[in-house]
Amino acid sequence: MKTYHSLSAIQKDIKEGKVNCTTLVQFYLKNISEKAHLNAFLEVYEEEALAAAQAIDQKIAQGKAGRLAGMVIGIKDVLCYANHEVNAASKILSTFQSQFTGTALQRLIDEDAIIIGRLNCDEFAMGSSNENSAYGPCLNELDNTRVPGGSSGGSAVAVQADLCLVSLGSDTGGSVRQPAAFCGIVGLKPTYSRISRWGLIAYASSFDTIGVFSKNIPDNALVLEIMAGADEHDSTVSKKPVPAYSSLLNFNKKAKVAYIKETIHSEGLNPEIKERTLATLEKLKQAGHEVEEVSFPYLDYILPTYYILTTAEASANLSRFDGVRYGHRSEATGDLESLYKKTRSEGFGEEVKRRIMLGTFVLSASYYDAYFTKAQKVRRLIKEKTEELLKDHDVLVMPTTPTVAFKLGEHSSNPLEMYLADLYTVQANVAGVPAISIPNGVDSQGLPIGLQIVGKAFDEATVFAFADYLMQNQLN
Amino acid sequence: MSLIHKEMKKVDHDTLKKMAHLSRLEFDQANGEKMINSMNEILDWVEKLNEIDTDAVAPLITMSEEVNQLREDVVKEELPHEKGLQNAPKRDSDYFRVPKVME
C-alpha cells in the first residue's frame, strides 16, 4: 500500500475502491512494529483497531460513514479512553484504567476515527524532549540520536514516521508545536478553552489545551472543528460557536503580518533558523503582504511567568495522586501520612517532583505575593501586550524553537537549559491565543525547522488559512 | 521594590524539609541536595520578574472571559460504585482501604 499524507487522498481512494480501513490499519500496524525502536507507542490497540476498521468499512459500504472515516489516530498518554489504560507516562498511574472517554476523543470516535494506540510523552506532560517518560525516551525518526521534542514526543513521531495519519497531543507551554517543529510536521495549539479538557489529565489548568499533529492543514482543521465547542463536563470550555475551519481555508487577501524583533535578535536563536524565518518574511513581502517589525518587551519574562504559575497549578493538580483511590501504592508499611509520602516519592519522576516542590514553594504563605501574585500580574501584561499586537495584525510570525532537535541527554542534567526550548512557544499559552507550527525547511544537517504562526483568540480560522496559504505556495 | 533578597538562598535544608512535607514527598540526602540546588537556580531565574513594575497591575486570575453558564443539577449516576473502586490499590467490597488512622 502507498503511504498517505492526507485524509482527502485516503477518502478518494476508498471511494474508488483502491483502499479500505482494514488495509489502512494493517499498514500502520506493520509500520508500528517495524519502527518499534522509536518507542512512540506505549500501547497498540491492534485487535480493536482492526475490528473498528471492519465495522467502518461496512458503514462506508452502506453510505453511513462519519466524516473521519479512514482517519487512523494515535493519542497522547494523557487522554482518557474508557476501559483503556492511561498512565501520563508516569509510574504513579501504572495500570490505571479510565472509566470514561474524554469529550474531544469521543467526538472523533463518533465521526468514525480509528484509535490505534496511546503515545509516549514526558511524565504528566512536563518536559521538552520526551526524556522524562517513565517508559523510556521516544526517538526522532530522522536521527535516532536526537529527541523528538516534548512533551508530546510520541505523538509527533507517530505522524512523522507514518505510524498513524493524525495524532492528539496536549500543549501547556509548547508541547505540541515544539515537537512538531523538531519532527518536520504540523502542530496546532488552539485558543485556551476552545476544546473541552474533560478527560485530559491536568498539568496546569489555566494553560492546558489539547492539540493536533498532522502532515497538512486541512486534516488539522477538520479534527479541531469536530473536537471543539461547548461541553457540559467542562465549566471552563468556551460556548462560542465553532467555525467550519476546514472549509474556510481560502486565504485571498493581503495579510498584515508582524514579527517580534526580540525573537529574531534573541541570543540563543540558531542562525540557520533565523535565516529561514527572515527568508519566509521576505517572501511574504515579495508576495505583496504587509510585514511589520514590532517590539515585545516581555520576551525574557514569559518563561519565568510560566514556570511560577504552572508549577503552582501542578502542585495543586497532582495532589490527587496519593495511592489511595487509584494508581501506584507503596508496599512500605506505616501510617497514612507515610503511605502518601512513600507512594508519591516512588511514583513521581524527578522533574515532576521538582515542579510540585516549586509550586508548593511559590504558593506558601511567605512567598505567595512575591512569586505567585507577581507572576499573575506579569501574565496580565504579557496577555494584554500580545492582544495589542494582534489587534493591528492578522498574525504574528516567529520561529517555533530557538534550536533544531537536540541530542538525547544534551540538556537532561540542567532543567533551566531544557526550559529554554519553549522560549517562543510559551507566549501563546500565557496569553491564551492560538498558534500553529508548520515546517520551514531544514538546516544544513537536514534537521527540520519550524515556523510559528500566532493568531487572535478564537481566530483559528485565520491561522489555519494563512498557514495553508504558506504551505500551498511554498512560501515556508 | 523587590521583596526578595538576591544574596540569600531561598531554599535551605529546613525549607526543603518543610516543602517536602507539604508536598507529601521525601528526599534522601543526595536527591535532597540536588533538589535544593535546582530549586535555588530556578528561583533566582524567575526573580527576573522583579525588573517589571507591576504596582498598578491587577493579577490575572482567570483566562475565561465568558460568564459561567450553569447547567441544571440533574442527579445522575456518572460513576457506578464498582467502577469507582476498580482502580483501587487496596479495597474491600465497599470502600478504599488505608492504614489504620485511629488507635
pLDDT at position B72 is: 85
Cα distance between residue A163 and residue A159, in whole Å: 6
Percent of chain B with pLDDT strictly greater than 90: 73
pLDDT at position B77 is: 87
Q: Check A415 against B38: CB less than 8 A apart.
A: yes
pLDDT tens digits, one per residue of A120-176: 999 999 999 999 999 999 999 999 999 999 999 999 999 999 999 999 999 999 999
> pLDDT tier at B68 (50, 70, 90 boundaries)?
confident
Q: Check B60 against A235: CB less than 8 A apart.
A: no
User: Does residue B2 carry a pLDDT above 70?
Assistant: no
Query: Would you call B101 an interface residue with chain A, using a CB distance cutoff of 8 Å?
Result: yes
Neighbours of A303 (CB within 10 A): 22
User: Does residue A357 carry a pLDDT above 90?
Assistant: yes
Cβ neighbors of A383 (< 8 A, separation 6 or more) are: A430, A431, A432, B60
Sheet containing A448-454, strands listed edge to edge, beginning at the edge strand earlier in sequence: A41-44, A114-119, A72-76, A166-171, A209-214, A186-189, A435-442, A448-454, A395-399, A256-260, A290-294
Which residue does chain A place closest to B83, by CA atoms? A99
Report CA-CA distances (Å) from A13 to A19, A23, A70. 6, 12, 10
Contact residues, B window 50-69, toward A, CB-based 8 Å cutoff: 50-52, 54, 57-64, 66, 68-69
Percent of chain A with pLDDT strictly greater than 90: 98
User: Does residue A258 carry a pLDDT above 60?
Assistant: yes
pLDDT at position B7 is: 53
Cα distance between residue A311 and residue A242, in whole Å: 31
Residue A76 appears among annotated catalytic residues? yes
pLDDT tens digits, one per residue of A58-103: 999 999 999 999 999 999 999 999 999 999 999 999 999 999 999 9
Which residue does chain B place closest to A85, by CA atoms? B87
Q: What are phi and psi of A104, to 5 degrees?
A: -60, -45
User: Does residue B6 carry a pLDDT above 60?
Assistant: no
With beta carbons less than 8 A apart as the criterion, state whether A27 and A10 touch. no
Mean pLDDT value across residues A300-307: 98
Mean pLDDT value across residues A181-191: 98
Biggest CA pair distance of chain A = 71
Closest CB from B42, B51, B59 relative to A376: B59
Name residue A88's amino acid: A
pLDDT tens digits, one per residue of A410-441: 998 899 999 999 999 999 999 999 999 999 99
Least confident of A9-18, A62-71, A386-395, B4-13: B4-13
Q: Check A381 against B43: CB less than 8 A apart.
A: no
Mean pLDDT value across residues A173-200: 98
Residue A385 appears among annotated catalytic residues? no
Q: What are phi and psi of A43, to 5 degrees?
A: -155, 140
B11 SS3 class? coil
Burial class (CB in 10 A: 0-12, 13-18, 19+), B86: middle
Q: Check A432 against B63: CB less than 8 A apart.
A: yes
Which residue does chain B place closest to A232, by CA atoms? B71
Least confident of A201-205, A467-471, B68-72: B68-72
Q: Check A340 against B96: CB less than 8 A apart.
A: no
Cα distance between residue A122 and residue A416, in whole Å: 16
CATH class, A7-247 region:
alpha beta
Least confident of A40-44, A254-258, A465-469, B68-72: B68-72
Q: Which three cell numbers stand for residue A144?
A: 535516532
Q: Which three cell numbers stand for residue A406?
A: 537536540
With beta carbons less than 8 A apart as the criterion, state whether A343 and A328 touch. yes
pLDDT at position B102 is: 79
Candidates B8, B14, B25, partner chain A, best to mutate (most A CBs within 10 A): B25
With beta carbons less than 8 A apart as the criterion, state whether A10 and A4 touch. yes
User: Does residue B1 carry a pLDDT above 50?
Assistant: no
Which residue does chain B place closest to A237, by CA atoms? B64
Query: Would you call A395 an interface residue with chain B, using a CB distance cutoff of 8 Å?
Result: no
Residue A238 belongs to what H/E stretch? none
Given A98, A128, A175, A246, which residue is catalytic?
A175
Percent of chain A with pLDDT strictly greater than 70: 100
Beta bridge partners of A200: A79
Domain boundaries, chain A: 7-247
pLDDT at position A474 is: 85
Q: Which three cell numbers stand for residue A461?
A: 480560522
Q: Check A378 against B88: CB less than 8 A apart.
A: no
Report CA-CA distances (Å) from A106 to A110, A193, A201, A473. 6, 17, 15, 35
Report CA-CA distances (Å) from A301 to A361, A452, B46. 20, 19, 8
Report CA-CA distances (Å) from B26 to A310, A346, A356, A377, B39. 22, 9, 12, 33, 15
What was the ipTM of the complex prediction?
Answer: 0.94
Looking at beta carbons, which residues of chain A come within 8 Å of B83? 99
A399 SS3 class? strand
Question: Cell numbers 500496524 correspond to what residue?
Answer: A29
Which residue does chain B place closest to A314, by CA atoms? B23
With beta carbons less than 8 A apart as the criterion, state whether A344 and A323 touch. yes
User: Does residue B12 carry a pLDDT above 60?
Assistant: yes
> pLDDT tier at B67 (50, 70, 90 boundaries)?
confident
Mean pLDDT value across residues A2-19: 97
State chain A's mean pLDDT as an integer.
97
Closest CB from B22, B45, B62 relative to A304: B45
What is the pTM for the complete model shown? 0.97
Please tell me the distance in Å from A264's CA to the nearest CA on chain B. Answer: 21
